[in-house]
A and B are shown apart, each in its own frame.
Chain A
Amino acid sequence: AQRVTQPEKLLSVFKGAPVELKCNYSYSGSPELFWYVQYSRQRLQLLLRHISRESIKGFTADLNKGETSFHLKKPFAQEEDSAMYYCALSLFYNQGGKLIFGQGTELSVKP
């Protein structure tokens, strides 16, 4: 079955420290992977997707098909990065774009 696993419920770092939010997926086909973010009192919104290979707000994520991972990284965390982060998988064959979400990781960046 298709699954997304985010092993850390909470990740706490100090400002300026590197950040890595882990995401592993289970899917035998060609996945399309996303990171969504929810800041306090705001809506869930797309942060980045692996297809675009872009850096958003200093975050990057590389799809590693061998390790079935899509970890989110940022070299220097900022306090405004504090939020809930969700990794999501879209099944390639599902033309409807259905997303399967992980449980989420709360990132707390301390001053």
Chain B
Amino acid sequence: EAGVAQSPRYKIIEKRQSVAFWCNPISGHATLYWYQQILGQGPKLLIQFQNNGVVDDSQLPKDRFSAERLKGVDSTLKIQPAKLEDSAVYLCASSFAGQGYEQYFGPGTRLTVT
């Protein structure tokens, strides 16, 4: 089966600019996660969707980050405006359901904010 797809793989922007990331989960996976991984740290959950509804967005900086999962399939994560501290790898993961199911990760998008 095809894995989780993400694009772009790399992005360099200046601070205060906006950026968007795209994720296509494994077909049939109802749960989709966005993680932020800052260099030297483990991934941190930003937002979790169950189909097209938000399950957990407690750690999403809502003043600048937004995410949507229209039709319960693809998802986009947006940052507007970006700050230097947003430089990180953004990982998308999906699972068949939530608790108890393995999460499959995409290759990530490496964002550099200058």
Contact = CB atoms under 8 A, between A and B. Distances in A.
A75 to B, nearest CB: 26
B55 to A, nearest CB: 4
A31 to B, nearest CB: 12
Contact of B107 (A43, A49, A92, A101): A43
Interface residues of B, number: 29
Contact of B43 (A32, A44, A46, A92): A44
B40 A103 contact: yes
B95 A99 contact: no
Main secondary structure of the interface of B (DSSP, over half): loop
A45 interface: yes
Contact of A97 (B43, B99, B104): B99
B14 interface: no
Interface string B38-51: 00111111001010
A101 B42 contact: yes
Interface string A22-43: 0000000000100000000001
A97 B42 contact: no
A2 B28 CA distance: 30
B6 to A, nearest CB: 10
Given A44-B105, A92-B99, 8 more contacts: A43-B3, A44-B91, A44-B93, A95-B98, A97-B31, A97-B99, A102-B42, A103-B41
